[in-house]
């Protein structure tokens, strides 16, 4: 078993200590997720562990032949190489053998009558046999196929950012290092590629360390979680859900210990004050212990559970409408005859493979892109907030708080109370010491968070969000999701993040490409598992094989996949019994009111109308409770 040992690692950026005296051990088979807020030093730590930018102090110990593969958020690739050359850029000898075979095969396929090409091909085959490279070549083909890298002769400099990320991914996966370090690996991957990657990493023989905002990915891949918080590293066994439970327990224990410390401090302070007149006889040891106790007060730092509270403009009934809408760029059809009616409080997800035009649809709704054909209407009361994938230019010499006060120094929260820019920053995880920080000192994720906050503080009533989870940490996403759950306006979000879509959207549209658009209802992850992934697994071949296997099996072996509560259903289940109790009280109260009306039939009619509404709502809640309870019982 190979091990990667880190001892007393410290890194400082300017005056800020990113992390101090970190020590941990990663062994073969460990699959570690690294989490922490933007700016906590996650990428700095990855750079230090990979050797790209060593830490200021500390040691890293490994075996002499220990190999590390590092996928950065923006891979540094040679733009003059082809995709194939970039993928085979590793220094292992077997890569040269496989690369030579591919070149020889291409040359022989072009000129099968050429004796030199034939001789070259035979020698390449012999080298493949000698180096036992056929398995490697097969693995490489699988990786390239699953990551949708088909044009292997394209030059890297002509690729999009997402395509470069996938080339970088293929490069490190093919090398099969002892420690695989992945920074946001699911960004720019289609859903079938993410599903394949989850399975691949779950079986990976080496060690894995990954930073990702994809919480489903963390749940399915990791068996350990490292949390980087206020310069310290906290370790948890298990996946993301285990981490949440472990963190809650840790914070509870720390709060209890801090409370006990405060009580002891108050008792000792009373003793010190009472003994002030007798300093010559006072116990010197107790004085020293009190001084140490006083110094230790307030040392516990925790990420707070913060709610973002912002007001918004009034939104009328008419929001947005697309009717028989068509959008095309030359021969490329984005959608055809699409009709959408957006109402108040609608929560809509838009998703699909890379490059099918999801952002183009959002630009149509934002009024930035005209339709090729059809009707697009916007309500008069709509006040749009559009969070684009590209952050607007922010002057490097501007301070964080100045960027917000350019919009307004004070706004109103959802209850109409005044809220300062300082309060807003703290609600969105910018602590007071960062308010005067120059923008140039912010991480990429912190800039994105600041840009999003500026949009939200303008009190929009319709939010268009284009890949909002990219570059945002999990803590910020939780604050955003809680805010969107209370948002009284309309939300349309383009996202590849399954967890975020399940949390935010009630229904959505899947853009499959070639103008095909499919509407789905409910949790996106259910639609993905039941519709999309079976279609994309060999154009339905996997689904056909599975169906045939079931037909050929004895009847008792048929098993239904256990249904689980979605994120929104879990939230609903937690409160539904209280909701039912409240409705039952209202129904009883209205019945009593009718009984007291006597012969006042006008009043009875009015109360009866309200009673009918409450009774119907109660019936719906009871039906919903029965449905959810069956799912919960099935999970036990």
441 and 466 inside one domain: yes
Output Rg (C-alpha) for the chain, integer angstroms. 30
CA-angle at 347, arms to 345 and 351, nearest 5°: 160
Question: Which of 113, 129, 159 is a domain's end point?
Answer: 159
Domain that holds residue 621: 567-635
- End position of a domain, from candidates 462, 497, 522: 522
Q: Is residue 168 part of a domain?
A: no
Residues 391 and 483 in one domain: yes
* Cβ–Cβ under 8 Å, residues 314 and 461: yes
Q: Is residue 471 part of a domain?
A: yes
Handedness of CA 378, 382, 383, 389 (dihedral sign): negative
188 and 134 within one domain: no
Q: Does residue 86 sit in the same domain as residue 141?
A: yes
- Rounded mean pLDDT of the chain? 83
Q: What is the dihedral of CA 593, 596, 598, 600, to 10 degrees?
A: -40
Which of 173-187, 392-406, 523-537, 556-570 has the least mean pLDDT? 556-570
**Structure confidence at residue 259 as a pLDDT band (50, 70, 90):** low
Please report how many Cα atoms fall inside a 13 Å half-sphere around the Cα of residue 572, on the Cβ side. 17
Classify residue 312: in a domain, yes or no: no
Where are the extended beta strands (E) located within 368-422? Answer: 373-378, 384-387, 410-412, 418-420
594 vs 563, which has greater pLDDT? Answer: 594
Question: Could you tell me if 43 and 211 are in contact, meaning their C-beta atoms sit under 8 angstroms apart?
Answer: yes
| Mean per-residue pLDDT, 365-380 | 95
Say if 374 falls within a structural domain: yes
Is the confidence at residue 329, as pLDDT, over 80? yes
Q: Which residue has the higher pLDDT, 312 or 477?
A: 477
Say if residue 362 is in the same domain as residue 465: yes
Do both 623 and 586 map to the same domain? yes
Q: Are residues 62 and 209 in the same domain?
A: yes
Query: Is 483:340 a contact under the CB 8 Å cutoff?
Result: no
Residue 51 to residues 44, 56, 246, Cα–Cα distance (Å): 11, 12, 31
Higher-pLDDT residue of 623, 289: 623
Partners of residue 227 on adjacent β-strands? 35, 234
Q: What is the mean pLDDT of residues 279-284?
A: 53
For residue 205, is pLDDT > 80? yes
The CATH number linked to 628 is 1.10.287
- Domain tally for the chain? 5
pLDDT average, residue stretch 284-309: 58
pLDDT band of residue 309 (cuts 50, 70, 90) is low
Beta bridge mates, 418? 412
Collapse the DSSP code of 211 into the 3-class scheme (helix H, G, I; strand E, B; otherwise coil) and give the result: strand
Mean pLDDT value of segment 432-452: 87
- Would the pLDDT of 276 be above 70? no
pTM over 0.85? The answer is no
In whole angstroms, give the CA distance from residue 570 to residue 632: 10
Q: Is residue 547 part of a domain?
A: no
Q: What integer pLDDT is reported at residue 482 of this predicted model?
A: 87
Dihedrals phi, psi of 158, to nearest 5 degrees: -95, 5
Section 360-368 average pLDDT: 95
**169 has a pLDDT exceeding 90:** yes
Residues 6+ apart with CB under 8 A from 254: 300, 302
Q: What percent of the chain has pLDDT over 90?
A: 39
pLDDT, tens only, 64-90? 989 999 999 889 899 999 888 888 876
Dihedral sign, CA of 409, 414, 418, 424? negative
Q: Which residue has the higher pLDDT, 242 or 547?
A: 242
pLDDT for residue 623: 73
Both 346 and 483 in a single domain? Answer: yes
| Token reading at 553 | 């099996």
What pLDDT is recorded for position 216? 93
| Confidence check: pLDDT of 215 > 80 | yes
- Claim to verify: residue 341 and residue 455 sit in the same structural domain: yes
Give the pLDDT mean for 2-8.
Answer: 95
3-state helix, strand, coil in the chain (%, to 5): 45, 20, 30
pLDDT band at 173 (very low <50, low <70, confident <90, very high): very high
Indicate whether 333 and 381 sit together in one domain.
yes
Percent residues over pLDDT 70 in the chain: 84
Mean pLDDT calculated for residue range 278-298: 57
Which stretch of 260-264, 275-279, 549-553 has the lowest confidence by average pLDDT? 549-553
Long-range contacts of 416-422 (CB under 8 A, 24+ apart): 416/311, 419/309, 419/310, 421/457
Alpha-helical runs (H) found in 131-214: 134-146, 161-175, 191-202
Q: Is the pLDDT of residue 357 over 50?
A: yes
pLDDT reading at 48 higher than 50: yes
Q: Is 153 helix (H, G, I), strand (E, B) or coil?
A: coil
Span 342-354, pLDDT tens digits = 998 999 999 999 8
Same domain, yes or no: 248 and 233? no
Residues in the chain: 636
Q: Taking a C-beta distance cutoff of 8 angstroms, is the pair 357, 511 a contact?
A: yes
Q: According to the model, what pLDDT value does residue 311 have?
A: 65
Would 551 be classed as within a structural domain? Answer: no
| 26 domain residue, yes or no | yes
Residues 390, 507: one domain? yes
Instruction: Show which of 159, 188, 205 is a domain's final residue.
Output: 159
Distance CA 226, CA 548 (A): 43
The pair of structure tokens assigned to 427 is: 């609600």
What's the N-to-C CA distance of the chain in angstroms? Answer: 37
Q: Kindly state whether residue 561 falls inside one of the protein's structural domains.
A: no
Provide the pLDDT for residue 152: 85
CA distance 577 to 583: 10
Local confidence band at 307 (pLDDT 50, 70, 90 cut-offs): low
Q: What is the mean pLDDT of residues 175-194?
A: 92
| Domain CATH code at residue 362 | 3.40.50.300
Distance CA 216, CA 493 (A): 18
Q: At residue 543, does pLDDT exceed 70?
A: no
């Amino acid at each position: 078993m190979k091990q990667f040992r880190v001892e007393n690692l410290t890194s400082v950026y300017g005056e800020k200590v990113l992390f101090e005296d970190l020590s941990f051990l990663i062994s073969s088979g460990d699959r570690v997720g690294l989490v922490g807020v933007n700016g906590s030093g996650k990428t700095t730590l990855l750079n230090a562990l990979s050797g790209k930018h060593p830490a200021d102090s500390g040691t890293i110990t490994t075996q002499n032949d220990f190999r590390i593969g590092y996928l950065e958020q923006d891979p540094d690739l040679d733009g003059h190489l082809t995709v194939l050359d970039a993928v085979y850029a590793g220094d292992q000898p077997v890569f040269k053998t496989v690369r030579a075979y591919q070149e020889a095969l291409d040359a022989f396929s072009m000129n099968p009558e050429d004796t030199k090409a034939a001789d070259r091909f035979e020698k390449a085959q012999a080298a493949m046999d000698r180096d036992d490279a056929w398995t490697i070549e097969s693995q490489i083909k699988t990786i390239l196929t699953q990551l949708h890298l088909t044009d292997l002769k394209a030059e890297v400099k002509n690729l999009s950012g997402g395509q470069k990320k996938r080339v970088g991914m293929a490069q490190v996966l093919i090398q099969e290092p002892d420690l695989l370090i992945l920074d946001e690996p699911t960004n720019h991957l289609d859903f079938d590629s993410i599903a394949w990657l989850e399975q691949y990493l779950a079986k990976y023989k080496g060690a894995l360390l990954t930073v990702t905002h994809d919480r489903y990915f963390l749940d399915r891949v990791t068996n350990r979680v490292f949390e980087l918080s206020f310069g310290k590293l906290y370790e948890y066994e298990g996946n993301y859900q285990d981490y949440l439970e472990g963190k809650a327990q840790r914070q509870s224990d720390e709060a209890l210990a801090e409370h006990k410390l405060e009580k002891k401090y108050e008792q000792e302070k009373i003793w010190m004050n009472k003994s002030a007149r007798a300093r010559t006889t006072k116990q010197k040891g107790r004085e020293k212990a009190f001084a140490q106790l006083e110094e230790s007060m307030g040392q516990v730092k925790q990420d707070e559970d913060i709610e973002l509270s912002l007001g918004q403009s009034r939104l009328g009934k008419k929001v947005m409408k697309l009717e028989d809408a068509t959008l095309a760029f030359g021969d490329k059809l984005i959608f055809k005859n699409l009709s959408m009616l957006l109402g108040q409080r609608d929560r809509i997800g838009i998703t699909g493979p890379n490059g099918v035009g999801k952002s183009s649809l959002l630009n149509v709704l934002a009024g930035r892109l005209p339709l090729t054909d059809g009707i697009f209407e916007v309500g008069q009361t709509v006040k749009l907030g559009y969070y684009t994938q590209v952050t607007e230019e922010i002057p490097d010499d501007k301070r964080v708080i100045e960027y917000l006060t350019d919009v307004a120094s004070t706004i109103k929260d959802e209850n109409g109370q005044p809220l300062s820019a300082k309060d807003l920053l703290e609600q969105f995880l910018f602590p007071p010491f960062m308010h005067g920080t120059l923008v140039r000192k912010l991480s990429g994720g912190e800039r994105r968070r600041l840009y999003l906050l500026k949009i939200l503080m303008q009190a929009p009533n319709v939010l268009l969000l284009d890949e909002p989870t990219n570059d945002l940490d999990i803590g910020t996403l939780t604050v955003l999701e809680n805010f969107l759950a209370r948002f009284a306006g309309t939300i349309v979000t383009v996202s590849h993040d399954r967890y975020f879509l399940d949390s935010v959207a009630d229904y959505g549209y899947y853009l499959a490409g070639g103008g095909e658009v499919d509407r789905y209802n409910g949790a996106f992850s259910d639609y993905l598992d039941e519709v999309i992934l079976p279609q994309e697994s060999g154009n339905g071949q996997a689904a056909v094989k599975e169906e045939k296997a079931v037909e050929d099996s004895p009847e008792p072996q048929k098993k239904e996949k256990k249904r689980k509560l979605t994120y929104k259903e879990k939230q609903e289940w937690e409160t539904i019994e209280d909701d039912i109790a409240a409705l039952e009280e209202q129904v009883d109260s209205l019945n009593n009111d009718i009984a007291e009306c006597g012969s006042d039939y006008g009043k009875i009619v009015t109360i009866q109308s309200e009673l009918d509404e409450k009774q119907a709502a109660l019936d719906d809640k009871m039906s919903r409770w029965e449905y959810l309870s069956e799912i919960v019982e099935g999970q036990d």
